[in-house]
Amino acid sequence: MEKDASAPDPSRQRNGFSGVLYGEFADALNDELRYSVSLTESALTIQRISSSPDRTKVAFNLSDCVGCRSHTGPDTSAYFTAYFYPMKRRWMSAGLARQRVEQCFRVAPAQDPLVNLREAERWSDTFLLLPNLLHLPGKGVACTTLRRPCRTMILVNPHSGRGQALQLFTGHIQAMLTEADVPYTLVITEHQNHARELVRNADLSQWDALVIMSGDGLLFEVINGLMEREDWQQAIKTPLGILPGGSGNALAASLHHYSQ
């Protein structure tokens, strides 16, 4: 649906709260549970509406959020769902790992389903407009901010990581791309230098970024392919992403270490 360019920026609609988008919504599965929800440039804060004096607030950092989607329900209501992957302690383990948290709210302040959907869209659109959601701070590591939707070519070496790279993609990454509403083209490499040849001859205007899911070898193939192009000076500016799918993943580990 095309939006009116003269319409106000949803990130600036604060319902009277300076710097905050605020609303009161029902739980997606239980109408008797209601929450006050506020969204700032750094966090989503949720507090249950109750007569109890102990009303604990829960805050989710937007740097852990991959996306937010809005949709209609079976009646006049509408919903918006935010997807977070915060670092949490694993069960029976001392280590930390990112774990999926889904926060879904029911919007039903009016009987008009279109009004409810617009309110849900206002929240989901604002999530995507907030700069902290799109920016990864780095210390000594160059990071590129991409606006959404980001068209991505994902290259996977099915033999990496003892043959588990493709399984990791379908089991973890694919769902996250859907949640983030990122359109992508999946390329499964078939032989050595396949990625190098593909990137060397590809029309890079079709993609905003190239993502490599493998060990270090496939990344080197992609970089070499970019450098062998006639337009290499422009091609090498294409943002590159690394999803560790190899056995050692030394380069991905080093980049992660220096970006903390």
Residues designated as active site: 216
Separation between Cα atoms, residue 160 and residue 246, nearest integer Å = 5
Separation between Cα atoms, residue 226 and residue 235, nearest integer Å = 6
Contact predicate 83/66, CB 8 Å: yes
Contact predicate 223/239, CB 8 Å: no
Separation between Cα atoms, residue 89 and residue 102, nearest integer Å = 17
Number of H helices, E strands in the chain: 9, 13
> Which of 232, 245, 111 has the alpha carbon at shortest distance from 170?
245
Separation between Cα atoms, residue 67 and residue 44, nearest integer Å = 12
> Which of 153, 156, 240 has the alpha carbon at shortest distance from 205?
153
Separation between Cα atoms, residue 27 and residue 43, nearest integer Å = 19
